[in-house]
Structure 1
């Protein structure tokens, strides 16, 4: 009886976070609207903005990043770009120097490796303006991005606005690009709906979001933490709203390699899980929209690989009870062999999209599990190695 109940609970948990919760948010969001207390683009009271990012050996993308930042319909005189270069050994710093006479750029050079969190802390402290946009070197803005990230701050209840990161315009669908594009689309939509319903977007995409400087809490630097999730959670804890603006479009060069993405997801997991545990009270007390979203979107999502293992083991114990459990066990065995089959087909240059989606889902959950284990047994290295960059046109 206990294995059967365990199996059912594990399956319900998985289905809730991936199917039921997105359906609930989609249904509830239909009856709500996004914040409409916004600045007009021609409003003379548009806030001054500090845009910050850390860079480590970003010579392939740094020029395009700078150009896209200032190629904006937002008044350039109200934009301050602050770049922190972290022990760069390539041409990144020379490229930045080339643009300092043309644009308002504050360049902080760190000779000794700092780590992203430490640099963000120092860049925020340096920032002169009340609104800060946090970004990554390989995330490029369109002309509307800055305005769309800033316009909502006319509403004094809003503390964070997330952006809508898309795949680069001219990028072909190689490797796992299709799967990552679909993931980004679903995540952006889910975050948008959470913001509409509860004003509680559970985690922004770190490559493109804005905050009120006064709400920033220094990120601990003695261990690996996901800075974007840490910042979002702490703004929500101060009773300010966090929303997602789908019109704040930015472009990122997505990973084609499933193993490069596996490494990235593993690191994100290792940095996110400790924050989930540290904020366990948000899961239950008080049980409201924020705690429901937190449990549904983050807690269950991150323990899904554990639930999968529990479901598989309990299914083995009970599979002889009836035909349903025999079929569920067979289905699981087939699903978990798909990444192996997909790897063989990929080696043969054969890409079957449904199989690639399943393989992507399973491998990314494996990355989550490894990241969780890593976060439990060690503090992790706060220094980061950027994903491989491609030159984008």
Structure 2
């Protein structure tokens, strides 16, 4: 069992060691720049997103959508999830002034998945662009998403490059700089994955496009609808493209506690998708399957692998024949929990970037573990509270 424990710990390290090394070694292909053919009629696009108490973000977000330079037909559909602030008032004002902006108020708190399903049924676009209320699109963002799709007719989902704004002086006191490091790595990895396998391993929920024919109703209570839709496309043998030039920005909280709660919710959604798709992995192309294992599955299950290795080390008379090994195992486990506690209590006092990054990774894995426990508790309605943001 000692060997099994070591295998568990080795697998837990793959997403943070071997997989990044492979991505760096492969690198992006040097592509010849292609020009998309000018279509006689550009596809209609429907931007859809849910909003709950987003009065601080809605007007600016809608202004950015109205400023898109996409030359085709563009409409916006917003679903207010029983907002109690001025969100509905803002949506009413914009829809009265701009015929392309439409909105509905849900009859009860419904969650993002149900709202997106409803908005898709109301909209008319050939392509659906999913986003969030706190995302700001670059002027050519939608055009670049559709350009990438035109360059790859096999692609039914296209992800864009999401970056964080709000990186002021206070960032070092919270978690924004670590999040920036993480999202930059994700953007790089997805580009390499797309170049090498034809599929980026998932898209950002704040910036993606999907062909209407590829959209499938999102199951009730789903938190990570972006991965559900993109992975469903992969299982059907379709490409999930990724555009370096389709750019949007997201404001970020410097407060670690709400951000941690958001990560727990995301982890819960990841486990929902593992439960749905684990029996269908044989349908993936081999290259896509390997990327899924290295980029997603082993990272999501890393806390369980580490815990499993520790528990194997405590089996008397089997896993470890020498008392010193048991002692070492206990020390390693307790040290890990101590570092997690330190991440909550002392990290704001840290001035060492490397140590802050370690704290951040530990918190990410703690969130994955708590998300797993929430998943085991059963289904949920998928409603959420917006994370406090910098609004910079």
Q: TM-score, normalised by structure 1?
A: 0.89
Q: 1:61 aligns with which of 52, 57, 62?
A: 57
Are residue 353 (structure 1) and residue 350 (structure 2) matched? no
- Map 1:25-174 to 2 at 5 A: 25-31=23-29, 33=31, 36=34, 38=36, 45-75=41-71, 78-100=73-95, 101-102=97-98, 104-154=100-150, 155-168=152-165, 171-172=168-169, 173=171, 174=173
User: Match of 1:279, SS?
Assistant: helix
- Map 1:1-393 to 2 at 5 A: 2=1, 4-31=2-29, 33=31, 36=34, 38=36, 45-75=41-71, 78-100=73-95, 101-102=97-98, 104-154=100-150, 155-168=152-165, 171-172=168-169, 173=171, 174-221=173-220, 223-284=221-282, 288-314=286-312, 318=320, 320=322, 333-346=334-347, 349-392=349-392
In 2, Cα distance between the equivalents of 1:218 and 1:332? Answer: 42
Q: Do 2:310 and 2:329's aligned partners in 1 also have CA atoms closer than 8 Å?
A: no
Q: 1:314 to 1:84 in 2, by over 3 A?
A: same
- Per the TM alignment, residue 47 of structure 1 is displaced from its structure 2 partner at its CA by 2.1
Q: Do 1:282 and 1:290's aligned partners in 2 also have CA atoms closer than 8 Å?
A: no
Q: Do 2:110 and 2:381's aligned partners in 1 also have CA atoms closer than 8 Å?
A: no
CA displacement 1:12-37 (0-9 Å, x = unmatched): 21222222122223333444649947
Q: 1:353 to 1:120 in 2, by over 3 A?
A: same
Moved more, 169-178 or 7-16: 169-178
- Per the TM alignment, residue 56 of structure 1 is displaced from its structure 2 partner at its CA by 0.8
In 2, Cα distance between the equivalents of 1:201 and 1:194? Answer: 5
Q: Do 1:37 and 1:152's aligned partners in 2 also have CA atoms closer than 8 Å?
A: no
Q: Do 1:305 and 1:365's aligned partners in 2 also have CA atoms closer than 8 Å?
A: yes
In 2, Cα distance between the equivalents of 1:83 and 1:226? Answer: 18
In 2, Cα distance between the equivalents of 1:350 and 1:320? Answer: 38
Unaligned runs of 5+ in 1: none
Q: Indicate the RMSD between aligned Cα atoms, in angstroms.
A: 2.6
Q: 1:38 to 1:16 in 2, by over 3 A?
A: farther
Q: 1:7 to 1:37 in 2, by over 3 A?
A: farther
In 1, Cα distance between the equivalents of 2:20 and 2:184? Answer: 12
- Per the TM alignment, residue 185 of structure 1 is displaced from its structure 2 partner at its CA by 0.9
Q: Do 2:131 and 2:206's aligned partners in 1 also have CA atoms closer than 8 Å?
A: yes
Unaligned runs of 5+ in 2: none
Q: Do 1:270 and 1:380's aligned partners in 2 also have CA atoms closer than 8 Å?
A: no
Q: How many residues align?
A: 384
In 2, Cα distance between the equivalents of 1:170 and 1:366? Answer: 25
Flag as ranges the 4+ runs of structure 1 deviating above 6 A: 325-329
CA displacement 1:80-129 (0-9 Å, x = unmatched): 11111111111112112222213510111223222111110011111211
Q: TM-score, normalised by structure 2?
A: 0.89
- Per the TM alignment, residue 345 of structure 1 is displaced from its structure 2 partner at its CA by 3.1
Moved more, 144-153 or 43-52: 43-52
In 2, Cα distance between the equivalents of 1:144 and 1:273? Answer: 34
Q: Do 1:13 and 1:300's aligned partners in 2 also have CA atoms closer than 8 Å?
A: yes
CA displacement 1:138-195 (0-9 Å, x = unmatched): 0111112111111122232111111111111554424000111111111121122111
Q: 1:129 to 1:25 in 2, by over 3 A?
A: same
Q: 1:113 to 1:6 in 2, by over 3 A?
A: same
- Per the TM alignment, residue 52 of structure 1 is displaced from its structure 2 partner at its CA by 0.7
User: Match of 1:244, SS?
Assistant: strand
Q: 1:299 to 1:163 in 2, by over 3 A?
A: same
In 2, Cα distance between the equivalents of 1:140 and 1:286? Answer: 33
- Per the TM alignment, residue 329 of structure 1 is displaced from its structure 2 partner at its CA by 7.2
